[in-house]
Chain A
Amino acid sequence: GAGVSQSPRYKVAKRGQDVALRCDPISGHVSLFWYQQALGQGPEFLTYFQNEAQLDKSGLPSDRFFAERPEGSVSTLKIQRTQQEDSAVYLCASSRWTGGLSPLHFGNGTRLTVT
């Protein structure tokens, strides 16, 4: 079956531009996560949705970052007024249930480069 799909795969933005990154989770998955992976680092948690509810946004680095999942399926991560330090791979993951026993399925990520 289809896995987690992210688009675009690559995005180049000039500093100050706004960007929107899309995530299509596996159908029926309740939980959805966004992670940021800087070069040479492990993924770092940004935000978590349970269905359409954003239950945890403690990892968002600034108020320029905004995420939504209005119908409990597709999610969008928006970054306003991009800065060079925003350059990273943004990973989306979904899981069938909530809690640590439900494995996370990751997309291939969107590589954002801010010039």
Chain B
Amino acid sequence: AQSVTQLGSHVSVSEGALVLLRCNYSSSVPPYLFWYVQYPNQGLQLLLKYTTGATLVKGINGFEAEFKKSETSFHLTKPSAHMSDAAEYFCAVSDRNGSQGNLIFGKGTKLSVKP
């Protein structure tokens, strides 16, 4: 069965500092990988996804993530945090061989940005 682990339920950085949110997955075959962002009282918005090809994927708002098969990781980074990045971030996986496209989510990491 697939699973997702996000290390750190809460990460706090200063404005302008590097953002690093960690995600590891467990799957018998490399899955499709996603990062979603959730602002308070809103639904989830897709930041980026990895399906195939280049392992470094760029998303919206300056975020990027690198798929590392050997480490079963898909960590999310942003070189310089902005106050507007404060939100909750969810890593998710989807079965590459599945027909539905259902997502399995991690528990989320809440990002705080200090001025």
Residues of A within 8 A of B (CB): 4, 31, 33, 40-45, 48, 50, 55-56, 91, 93, 95, 97-104, 106-109, 111
B103→A45 contact, CB < 8 A: yes
Which residue of B has the minimal Cβ distance to A6?
B43
CB distance from A2 to the nearest CB of B (A): 13
Task: Report which of B32, B36, B105 forms a contact with A100, defined as CB distance below 8 A.
Answer: B32
- What are 6 A-to-B residue pairs whose CB atoms are below 8 Å? A40-B107, A42-B92, A42-B108, A48-B102, A98-B99, A100-B98
Q: Secondary structure at chain B's binding surface: helix, strand, loop or mixed?
A: loop
A-contact bits for B68-101, CB 8 A (1 contact / 0 none): 0000000000000000000000101011101111
The 8 closest A-B pairs by CB, nearest first: A42-B105, A106-B43, A100-B94, A100-B32, A106-B44, A108-B43, A100-B101, A42-B107
B43→A102 contact, CB < 8 A: no
Which residue of B has the minimal Cβ distance to A33?
B102
Known: A99-B101, A104-B101, A108-B42. 15 other contacts (CB 8 A): A33-B103, A40-B108, A42-B4, A42-B92, A42-B108, A43-B105, A48-B100, A50-B100, A56-B102, A91-B43, A100-B101, A101-B32, A101-B51, A102-B101, A107-B43
A56-B100 CB under 8 A given contacts A42-B107, A103-B46: yes
A109-B43 CB under 8 A given contacts A100-B51, A100-B95: yes
Q: Secondary structure at chain A's binding surface: helix, strand, loop or mixed?
A: loop
CB distance from A85 to the nearest CB of B (A): 18
Contacts of B96 in A (CB 8 A): 100
B45→A41 contact, CB < 8 A: no
For B, the interface residue count at a CB cutoff of 8 angstroms equals: 29
B100→A106 contact, CB < 8 A: no
CB distance from A101 to the nearest CB of B (A): 6
A41→B108 contact, CB < 8 A: yes
CB distance from B39 to the nearest CB of A (A): 10
Tell me if B104 counts as interface (CB < 8 A to partner A).
yes
Which residue of A has the minimal Cβ distance to B32?
A100
Task: Report which of B41, B90, B94 forms a contact with A43, defined as CB distance below 8 A.
Answer: B90
